Structure 1
């Protein structure tokens, strides 16, 4: 086994290691969540643009798009990665602040359908890819993210490569080359947050993974040290190179078990504050002032002060808390509209909400202090990393999927995901 960082990642990605039972369960839940987000996002403007682009390009009909039609696998990964992230309602892993499913599942299911592979094999490959994306994200570290790189796009591309390469049967050495080639393709900036460019970042990661794995499988040669070597991805993209944290118990401990699913249709950085505010039974007429304390990292991610679009609202503490206080359901897609952002009631209420950075809080915590008009002060805190029983998580995700797709369609998808069918069987439901 190679002693390099890339070599150990490649050995893991091509291994016969048995994932933990909980990791497998969480992967199936995230597959359902990915499908629900992708199908529900199929009519978003960015989805329509990507579908038209996919249909304008000639090529083999290999894999299905959300919303119908089959296109080449690489294009399906690009479109589906973008579409499934369009609502910003998909899962997050806070070890590196990335969205693993949209990049990795989009790549894995495209190649799974193209190769007529079994669904269990595809989900397992995606699980290996998502775990690897988290590990690469840990290796890149916080400086990479804080500099402005979007981990969903960068670490996610390596995860998509691992899943795609596993499905194509790459050897460990070939996987090293694929990860090295991915180092020249992985890209995505936080500067796109609040625009169509953010979900496009996820699509870029998915299609990069499919493309580089296919190229290496066809004999393409690439530098296997381009991830961590001289002039490699880590050094040129402000990576911290935290090798020990990234490789600790790789193959024994599955960090994917700690995936966090969204129950509000906005940036995950806002969820702890929304959950804390829910505990206060927030209502607009009672608010004299509302102060939110959050980790400093979120101040540049989801603290838009006065967005004028529904998309921008998904990255604004003041706006989502004002929506919640006005009685709008932050789990509903239609709560984030351009019209609501221009509502005089929301604008006035937003001015009563203040956001502060607090180094004492972790990235998954938030504290909310409400001063009511009668002078009473109420406070609440929430931590997204607080343990949630699997049964409760499954029930909440089922309720979310049912709200997005309807009970019957949700039940059909869940039945297919738990069965012994093929990726094609699942594609028939898209």
Structure 2
């Protein structure tokens, strides 16, 4: 069965309780990132420029608009801080593409939060499966999986919410094949989060167009001259989940920077060594991260989020990488951090997986310490929940963090979107 047939079949599947529970944690995390992202001054002009259409779908910061506009803005703002979840199997940020589409459409239809969670779970799983099918070649050549595979996941989730039949869902995916886009050249700029917003909007629009009767190629995703063939897709074999869903291995961020840095930062978190005792640092990482988050000498706070050397120097100097405020233009120029940065080398190591990092610290005393971390090390839902609540508390403060948590684990979607109001 081809990828398109699998996705069409998957739209009505029953969602396991554990997968839905993980999706609720991602809803909580995504909403917090969006609320915090709306406070970023540099995105205010973009946000205002979209407010030309009235509608029922709430937008981070306090406005409301039509479903497509809300999906675009919320997808962009929730990825603005690059603090949202990641799935390493398909190299993408699934929630920022799928959840904005689901929440916006669910609001227009007055759908219960439980049903929205199920739709989002199916959409996220669909985006991961699509990403796996496209394969590493698609990403390595320069496409941003959050935007490409994410758009198909958003379309699938929206198709489920709208109750589209098999033919309509196929057309929605076919229309999406003409719309899905996003390139890695945008990394480190405001256009990277825009990629997520565009994917969410594409999911909403293509499903609504299909519902209205618009048709597309029989298989625009996997057919001849389709999306996969023309976008360096590998056409890898994928199978629909049975017991274990891909969403169960989603990775949430606990550092406010590119996820490629997190294994290194988690390893350094256990170092407990004063900066002045450090003679040299060698960071080993998977080769693919070398072109993603290895800006050697970042000039801005945004560039710092994509720099092994600078974030390592920050951590070793005692700066919190879990705080959004740490990633400022000032930290990029901090003399002490920049001086320590010059002692740090980053090398690729194909023997490591994409979720692993190995750090070697050489101290002035001659002592050598080796630290290792793997982001795929199992984390229970309870531990993950506690870490996310701590993260959101730092992002939003009390009582907003608690209010959002109670809404995310409840049944009322309105309670969640009521939290979107600005500070």
TM-score (norm 2): 0.97
1:290 counterpart SS class = strand
Deviation at 1:46, TM superposition (A): 4.4
1:88-146 superposed Cα distances (whole Å, 9 cap, x missing partner): 00000010110010110011001011111111111110000000000000000000111
Within-5 A mapping of 1:26-425: 26-55=22-51, 57=52, 59-242=53-236, 244=237, 246-247=238-239, 249-421=240-412, 423-425=413-415
What is the CA–CA distance in structure 1 between the aligned matches of 2:382 and 2:372, rounded to whole Å?
Answer: 24
How far apart are the structure 2 equivalents of 1:36 and 1:420?
18
Query: What is the rounded CA distance, in whole Å, between the counterparts of 1:50 and 1:160 in structure 2?
Result: 22
Shift of 1:417: 2.0
8 A Cα contact 1:305 1:316, kept in partner:
yes
Conserved in 1, the CA contact under 8 Å of 2:8 and 2:169? yes
Provide the rounded CA distance (Å) in 2 between the counterparts of 1:389 and 1:120.
22
2:419 maps to what in 1? 429
Matched residue, 1:20: 16
Q: 1:95–1:138: 8 Å Cα contact kept in structure 2?
A: yes
| C-alpha distance in 1 between matches for 2:242 and 2:200 | 23
3-state secondary structure, aligned to 2:134: helix
Residue in structure 1 matched with residue 7 of structure 2 by the alignment: 9
- SS of alignment partner, residue 206 of structure 1: helix
Cα distance 1:282–1:112, how it changes in 2: closer, same or farther (>3 A)?
A: farther
Is the alpha carbon distance of 1:21 and 1:211 closer, same or farther for their aligned partners in structure 2, counting shifts above 3 Å? same
Runs of 4+ in structure 1 off by over 6 angstroms are: none
Q: Deviations over 1:359-395 (max 9, x none)?
A: 0000000000000111111111000001112211110
Taking the aligned partners of 2:408 and 2:271, their CA distance within structure 1 comes to 38
Q: Structure 2 vs 1, CA of residues 323 and 190 (structure 1 numbering), >3 Å: closer, same or farther?
A: same
Equivalences, count: 420
Shift in Å, 1:415? 1.6
- 1:7 shift after superposition: 1.7
Q: How far is the alpha carbon of 1:20 from its aligned partner?
A: 2.0
Q: Answer yes or no: is the 8 Å Cα contact 1:19–1:251 preserved in 2.
A: no
How far is 1:404 from its partner? Answer: 0.8
Please give the secondary structure, in 1, of the residue aligned with 2:269: helix
Aligned-residue CA RMSD in angstroms? Answer: 1.1
Q: Say whether the 8 Å CA contact 1:12–1:251 is kept in structure 2.
A: no
Unaligned runs of 5+ in 2: none
- Is there any run of 5+ residues in structure 1 with no aligned partner, and where? none
